[in-house]
Amino acid sequence: MLRWLIGGGREPQGLAEKSPLQTIGEEQTQNPYTELLVLKAHHDIVRFLVQLDEYRFASAGDDGIVVVWNAQTGEKLLELNGHTQKITALITFPSLEACEEKNQLILTTSADRTVILWDCDTGRQVRKVSCFQSTIKCLIVLQRLDVWLSGGNDLCVWNQKLDLLCKTGHLSDTGISALIEIPKNCVVAAVGKELNVSFVTGSHVGEMIIWDILDWTVQACECSFWDPSPQLDTQQEIKLCQKPDDISIHHFTWDEENVFAAVGRGLYVYNLHMKRVIACQKSAHDSNVLHIAKLPNRQLISCSEDGSVRIWELREKQQLAAEPVPTGFFNMWGFGRVNKQASQPVKKQQENSPPCSLELIGDLIGHSSSVEMLLYFEDHGLVTCSADHLIILWKNGERESGLRSLKLFQKLEENGGLYLAV
């Protein structure tokens, strides 16, 4: 069971009803995150999280505030005030060469059409730019070139001193929604509703393309996330047309073997070597999956508009045993022979079905509204932010219990109480 550790925790209300197919019961033996810390500092939707170092992270959202936290204790370290409207992008920024102190910097942009460079060690504003004609939707830093780019209705290139070097003209009514660095000092800009990630691009019509980033050739294409089976009926096609979000690709993550895609309410694993979907969970959540992250030991974590955070494990399916060949007297007259026609559809179904499965091993209940983003700290657990204005640190209960016991013994030893007890 989950344990609420600090004041201000509240019982989650208004959560969407969970699908009975995904119920794993109260005893989640494979879920290590059995303790949580609830952090309160924001007054509106918290949309962005960024890791600063091994112990700190920053959060930002629609209240225009940036908050720096200690990921180990949940302590609020700094509150950065400077924007007058919601924050639309948040990234880390390399230390300035002119400064002797190599402090951690972050760059934020807002609907107030300003960009601010912050020092996360002191909380001061290093620089501010307010010459934009439209809202900036995304940021990217190219450390090799000592420049950073901003994307909105225009694509602008800046140096570390926040001086404008060059910019493009008006691109579209919707503007640039994502920027990705690729080799040869190039950048991929997604215009409109497309989401681009490294060598993989995905769209809101359920199409994913894997590109060769050197010669821009298509290496593989997948457009059947909403149903990995080859045949579809007419009713299902009509239903998909009525709900485009069901096939909309919202987020990607990847490793050397697989691409993990959040498609509508589902999760899909695409193997780069086999060039096919090897596992899927079409109803992983009750609403759209907004963010996913890879965990160790072939595990995946996802968060959704329904307020849930779920942990999955990629497992290989057990192959069915081959049909034994009948022998003996009755086999001479045809008794006991396998019906080849009946076995063919079953065999074909096994060949078309994904060879792996995504098994639910943890369901983290704590937020009462849409969970926008998550971060994974190897030593300090998980961080999630939500439209309920809260940030939650999910802690490994066994690890935290061991740390508390160690601190207790250390304190007793310092006070001499340990020797008195002996």
For 209-242, the DSSP string reads: EEE-TTT--EEEEE--TT--SS---HHHHHHHHH
Environment class of 304 (CB within 10 Å of its CB; exposed 0-12, middle 13-18, buried 19+): buried
For 14-41, the DSSP string reads: SPPPPPGGG---S--TT--EEEEEEEE-
Please give the structure tokens belonging to residue 352: 């078309």
* 93-140: pLDDT as tens digits: 887 765 556 789 999 999 999 999 999 999 999 999 887 878 888 898
For 293-339, the DSSP string reads: EEETTTEEEEEETTS-EEEEEEEEPPPPPPPPPP-STGGGGTTT---
C-beta of residue 42 within 8 angstroms of C-beta of residue 333? no
Q: How far is CA 32 from the centre of its chain?
A: 19
Phi, psi of 285 (to 5 degrees): -135, 170
Q: What is the length of the chain?
A: 422
* 176-219: pLDDT as tens digits: 777 777 666 777 777 654 443 334 555 554 555 555 545 555 56
pLDDT beneath 70: ranges in the chain:
1-26, 97-101, 169-174, 182-184, 191-247, 319-352, 417-422
Q: How far is CA 175 from the centre of its chain?
A: 23
Please give the structure tokens belonging to residue 109: 């942009």
Look at residue 38 in the predicted model and tell me its pLDDT.
Answer: 95
Looking from the CA of 342 toward its CB, the CA atoms found within 13 Å total: 4
Look at residue 255 in the predicted model and tell me its pLDDT.
Answer: 85
